[in-house]
Structure 1
């Protein structure tokens, strides 16, 4: 017997890309002096 672990909304969120803001992208891809 199969059971559902995630709701339809949770499955959709897991299958899609998260919304990332411009500030987060800049912070993630900006090198630090040590790099």
Structure 2
């Protein structure tokens, strides 16, 4: 199994309290191409 870094999926877990900016962070990640 010889995978390059580009082939390995990236998982980002975004958590936090209400009002901590999760929506803003999610919008930035979406703008960067994460879905």
TM-score (norm 2): 0.29
| RCO comparison, higher one (Cα < 8 Å, 6+) | 2
Kindly indicate which of the two structures has a greater share of residues assigned to helix: 1
